[in-house]
Amino acid sequence: MQRQSLLLVLLPAVAAAAVPTTMPGLMRLKGGSSMPTWSDNPAVIKLREIAKNPYDLSAKDAISPARINMMQASACGLKLLYGTERVDEATIDALANLAKERDVFGKMKAMMDGEVINKIESYESENRKVLHTAMRDVFDKRNEAPAAKEASDLEMAELSKLKDWCNKLDKEKTFTDLVLIGIGGSDLGPRALYLALQGYKKDNRRVHFVSNVDPDDAAMVLKGIPDLSKTLVLVCSKSGGTLETLTNEQLVRDFFVKKGLDPKKHFACVTGKGSPMDNPAEYLISFYMFDYIGGRYSATSMVGGPMLAFGLGYQNYEMILKGAHDMDRNAISEKDVRKNLPLLLALLGVWNRNFLGHQTLAVLPYSQALVRFTAHLQQLDMESNGKHIDREGRFVDYATGPIIWGEPGTNGQHSFYQLIHQGTDVVPCEFVGFTNSQFGMDLDVKGTTSQQKLNSNLLAQSLAMAQGHITSNPNKCFDGNRPNCIILGKKLDPYTLGALLSLYEHKVAFQGFLWDINSFDQEGVQLGKVLANQFLDIYQKVNKGESVPATDNLSALVQQMP
481-494 pLDDT, tens digit each:
999 999 999 999 99
Chain region(s) in the chain for CATH 3.40.50.10490: 38-44+54-128+330-522, 129-321
Tell me the sheet residues that pair with 129.
116
Question: How many CB atoms are located within 10 Å of the residue 21 CB?
Answer: 6
Quote the distance between the C-alpha of residue 136 and its chain's center: 17
List the beta strands (DSSP E) in 11-104.
Answer: 72-75, 78-81
pLDDT band at residue 527 under the 50/70/90 scheme:
confident
The answer to whether the CB of 501 falls within 8 A of the CB of 489 is no
Query: pLDDT tens digits, residue range 374-405?
Result: 999 999 999 999 999 999 999 999 999 999 99
pLDDT band at residue 37 under the 50/70/90 scheme:
confident
- The least confident of 173-187, 237-251, 291-305 is 237-251
Catalytic positions, written as ranges? 383, 414, 529
Which pLDDT does position 13 carry in this prediction? 31
Q: What is the CATH number of domain 38-44+54-128+330-522?
A: 3.40.50.10490
Tell me the sheet residues that pair with 128.
118
Name, in order, each residue with C-beta under 8 angstroms of 72's C-beta and a sequence gap of 6 or more: 79, 80, 81, 82, 83
Q: Rounded to two decimals, what is the model's pTM?
A: 0.93
- The least confident of 62-71, 321-330, 423-432, 540-549 is 540-549
Query: Hey, is 4 helix, strand or coil?
Result: helix
Q: Tell me phi and psi for residue 181, to 5 degrees.
A: -105, 115
Query: Hey, is 184 helix, strand or coil?
Result: helix
Which pLDDT does position 39 carry in this prediction? 86
- Taking the C-alpha atoms of residue 180 and residue 475, their distance in angstroms, rounded to an integer, is 49
| CA angle in degrees (0–180, nearest 5) for 146-149-152 | 150
Pairwise pLDDT comparison (558 vs 433), residue with the higher score: 433
Rg (CA), the chain: 25
Length of the chain: 562
Query: pLDDT tens digits, residue range 209-256?
Result: 999 999 999 999 999 999 999 999 999 999 888 899 999 999 999 999
pLDDT > 90: percent of the chain: 86
Compute CA distances 8 → 11, 21, 123, 456, whole Å.
6, 15, 17, 55
Query: pLDDT tens digits, residue range 77-119?
Result: 999 999 999 999 999 999 999 999 999 999 999 999 999 999 9
Which pLDDT does position 36 carry in this prediction? 54
Tell me the sheet residues that pair with 233.
179, 267
| Cis peptide preceding 410, ω within 30 of 0 | yes
Half-sphere exposure of 49 (CA within 13 A, CB side): 8
Q: Which residues of 188-218 are buried (b: 16+ CB within 10 A; e: fewer)?
A: bbbbbbbbbbebbbbeebbbbbbbeeeeeeb
**What class does CATH assign to 129-321?**
alpha beta
- Taking the C-alpha atoms of residue 272 and residue 291, their distance in angstroms, rounded to an integer, is 8
β-sheet with 267-272: strand ranges across: 206-210, 177-181, 231-237, 267-272, 286-289
Residue 24 reports pLDDT greater than 60: no
Q: Which residues of 156-176 are buried (b: 16+ CB within 10 A; e: fewer)?
A: eebbebbbebbeebeeeeebb
Which pLDDT does position 52 carry in this prediction? 98
